[in-house]
Amino acid sequence: MGSKLDFTLAILNGAIGDHLVATKNGLATELACMHEGAPFPMTRAALATALPSASAKVVLLVHGLMCTEEVWKLPDGTDYGTLLERDLGYTALRLRYNSGRAIVENGEALARLLEELADAYPVPIEELVLLGYSMGGLVVRSACHVGKLEDHHWLALVRRAIYVGTPHRGAPLERAGKILTRVLRAIPDPYTRLIADIVEVRSMGIKDLGEGICVRDMEHPVPLLPEIRHYLAAGSLVDDPNVALFFGDVMVPVQSATDHRIVDREGFVLPPEHVKLFPHFSHVRLAHDALVYDQIRTWCE
């Protein structure tokens, strides 16, 4: 029941989460790390209780639009976090956030949360891995920039950032939504304008996905921070590489998920082994599949 309610709230937050925040609605999800289905505060006591055998290596899983941390669950009940705990000795934390807020706002909140985590974590953190799925990857990217701009301590602990099905260069479906709204508005008919109004209700988070916007006051694409090793996983429903480039896993084209491979304007290029394409993978499958986990584990070794 709790899980179903959480799932419903995740969809609601993804759809109109910015409105819920603006109206101080109690249904708005607050950004927090989750333990056994409940958020826990970033205090020493709460962390010590939630993580009795905390390791110095931490991996943070950040879900995507309209999801909760349940999206990571594999059929056997494990997730990439528990598997990394088992195989490589990480301590896994799972973030839950309101995916309808602007990506920038979630990035800022995540950066602040990570600063609190670095201070309150039971043992000194030696390594922090950020693992973002879909929109979660953009939130991670945004948080890293905020961390850099505000000189946060946690940023020095981040060794790797792994982006799974993240629309770094935007999602065409959202761009199509924008065009549809414009066309409907241009038609001088009250009914089509009503449909345009309904389509326009979608949250800032969804609108940000159109261009992959993740940093305030900076033109996107912003550079990936060179002090972190970045890894990109993309899905594709087809074999043909040219078709995959544009359609990818239907939600995110391969060229967007791989950030065109050339990831910033200063010529910082990712090594080929940092980019992995998974043929015949849907967008959702990327979040909970043994093959994707094998790749993540290889990247984390």
Partner 1 sequence: MSEKRKKMEKWRGLVALVRDGVEHGSRAVERIQLETANRPFTVLEHIPPIAVPAKVVHVVFDASVKATHAVIRGVNAVAATAIDVTLDHVASDSDERRND
Residues touching partner 1, count (CB under 8 A): 11
Is 187 near partner 1 (CB under 8 A)? no
Is 190 near partner 1 (CB under 8 A)? yes
Q: Which residue of 6, 10, 15, 20 would you call a contact of partner 1, by CB under 8 A?
A: 20
Q: How far is the CB of 192 from partner 1 (least distance, A)?
A: 11
Q: Which residue of 1, 76, 191, 301 would you call a contact of partner 1, by CB under 8 A?
A: 191
Which of 190, 267 has the CB closer to partner 1? 190
Q: Which residues contact 162 (CB under 8 A, 6 or more apart)?
A: 129, 130, 131, 132, 230, 231, 233, 296, 299, 300
Is 104 near partner 1 (CB under 8 A)? no
Conformational region of residue 249, where left means phi above 0, alpha means psi within -120 to 50, and beta covers everything else: alpha
Stretch that binds partner 1, among 20-28, 52-60, 129-137, 163-171 (CB under 8 A): 20-28
Structure tokens at 113: 């949360």
Structure tokens at 67: 């999801």
Q: How far is the CB of 25 from partner 1 (least distance, A)?
A: 4
The span from the CA of 31 to the CA of 289, in Å, is 25
Which of 27, 186 has the CB closer to partner 1? 27
What element of type H or E holds 236? strand 229-236
Which of 40, 247 has the CB closer to partner 1? 40
Structure tokens at 33: 């790390």
CB-CB contact of 46 with 116 (8 Å):
no
Stretch that binds partner 1, among 18-26, 132-140, 149-157, 212-220 (CB under 8 A): 18-26
Q: Which residue of 15, 28, 103, 209 would you call a contact of partner 1, by CB under 8 A?
A: 28
Alpha helices by DSSP H, the chain: 2-22, 44-50, 80-88, 103-120, 135-149, 172-186, 190-200, 204-211, 241-247, 254-257, 290-300
CB-CB contact of 226 with 158 (8 Å):
no
The interface mask with partner 1, positions 136-175, x = CB under 8 A, is ----------------------------------------
| SS3 at position 114 | helix
Q: How far is the CB of 27 from partner 1 (least distance, A)?
A: 4
Q: Which residue of 1, 2, 4, 26 would you call a contact of partner 1, by CB under 8 A?
A: 26
Q: Which residues bind partner 1 (CB under 8 A)?
A: 19-20, 23, 25-28, 190-191, 194, 197
